[in-house]
Chains A and B, each alone.
Chain A
């Protein structure tokens, strides 16, 4: 093996990654194009809202309450090192609304929704249902992709809002039951401390993460390989790609929103 072989391998990997990014960007562009032109499938959209938004409430709620509770314990322990235990309500609130609410909510939705979209559309692809849609004069991008992407973009921020509230409640529960905070003071400190943009930025992140999740699910589903193995691979890739993209875009958005 020559010395340059690893370099060639690396180069090939970079090129493949760039090509995949390009294809994904084209797919996103086409989705946005179809979003603006009729026909629109209202029933599919409402169904997707139910599947993506409403049915994700339990997982997002559970994730939020345990995260808020653990956060309160950690901040209390950390704050105790420099006699700042009193900041628990404020830090729980800002941590949940700016970061943990959207990111953990987004990741849970990625696990639940990107996988199911990719598996569903991938199965439709391998059983020729996508071909059948085309022959029945229905554009699969409009009929399958647009409703899901739109529904996720609109409902994930709502999930994040609910998650924020539940997370703060988790902190409040631990704060009042375990750490000896006064209930009214805890709530007052939380509400007075939070600014609109703390919550608003998290909701914007939620919309971006929702878009990413549904887009990855649809993209990998539509490009699924043949057979059960192809669908399995598409599902896995959709979840991995959505999760990584959520974390990466979260960093970028945080830089844009909060760096001075």
Chain B
């Protein structure tokens, strides 16, 4: 579904991606792990065309993402941004229903609102939240509204940038289950970035670890624990000692 070949990206002197190769199959749940600041969010933005790579090729369903018609291309995607990125001039339900109320096949207002409330319920938010503004919600609630917005239009491909950070363990469990459901029931392709190893095990079919701008290791989640790769071992066990240097 998604093929990434030799993608490079630098911001000024800061070489972030240095030749990333990664393939995500249709209907598969890929989880990306890796240290903070290694360019995981940038990689997702490259796929969506929000950041233009310096080199390399990205294909979605066989098509070069720089050559496709943008509207049709983006209509297939849903994205949860790391910071939520909710529109603060709109109420919660208007955020969730943003895409439903625009473009071809838009829904009338009451119907869009109903769908939005249903999506909010799926991420564990009560209907009362629908008429609040994003600024009136807690960080974890904002995150879940962002999640509801990402899945509202039932996209084929969904990106989740740290869906469970800032959530309590029970809510994190609910969200993990939701992501799994979306992949299994709706047949969506999902790419999730997370630092939470419980989430990795709950969500992933495949795992890719990014280190120093490259994919260090990738494979099925079942093989993750057994891999001898010292970088992966250090990361998944959260050890301070190991080949990944931590500045102190």
- Asked whether A177 is an interface residue with its Cβ less than 8 Å from the other chain, the reply is no
Q: Which of B133-154 contact A (CB under 8 A)?
A: 149
Contact residue range for chain B?
20 to 34
Interface centre among A127, A131, A134, A137 (most CB of B within 10 A): A137
Q: How far is the CB of A195 from chain B (nearest CB, A)?
A: 44
Q: Which of A210-227 contact B (CB under 8 A)?
A: none
Decide if B85 touches A129 in the complex (CB within 8 Å): yes
- Asked whether B50 is an interface residue with its Cβ less than 8 Å from the other chain, the reply is yes
Interface centre among B49, B77, B79 (most CB of A within 10 A): B79
| Chain A residues close to B by CB (< 8 Å) | 39, 124, 127-129, 131-138
Partner of B50, one of A124, A131, A136, A137: A131
Decide if A132 touches B79 in the complex (CB within 8 Å): yes
Q: In the complex, which residues of chain A have a beta carbon less than 8 angstroms from the beta carbon of B75?
A: 137
Given A137-B71, A137-B75, 17 other A-B residues pairs in contact with their CB atoms under 8 A: A127-B83, A127-B85, A128-B83, A129-B88, A131-B85, A132-B79, A132-B81, A132-B87, A133-B87, A134-B49, A134-B50, A135-B48, A135-B74, A136-B99, A136-B149, A137-B99, A138-B102
Q: In the complex, which residues of chain A have a beta carbon less than 8 angstroms from the beta carbon of B16?
A: none
| Chain B residues close to A by CB (< 8 Å) | 45, 48-50, 71, 74-75, 77-79, 81-83, 85-88, 98-99, 102-103, 149
Q: What is the total of A-B residue contacts with beta carbons within 8 Å?
A: 48
Q: In the complex, which residues of chain A have a beta carbon less than 8 angstroms from the beta carbon of B79?
A: 132, 135
Q: How far is the CB of B132 from chain A (nearest CB, A)?
A: 17
Q: In the complex, which residues of chain A have a beta carbon less than 8 angstroms from the beta carbon of B50?
A: 131, 134-135
Q: In the complex, which residues of chain B have a beta carbon less than 8 angstroms from the beta carbon of A124?
A: 87
A134–B78 Cα distance when bound, in Å, is 11
Partner of B103, one of A128, A132, A135, A137: A137
Cβ-closest chain A residue relative to B99: A136
Q: What are 23 A-B pairs at a CB distance below 8 A?
A: A39-B102, A127-B85, A128-B85, A129-B85, A129-B86, A129-B87, A129-B88, A131-B45, A131-B50, A131-B85, A132-B86, A134-B49, A134-B74, A135-B50, A135-B74, A135-B77, A135-B78, A135-B79, A136-B99, A136-B149, A137-B74, A137-B103, A138-B102
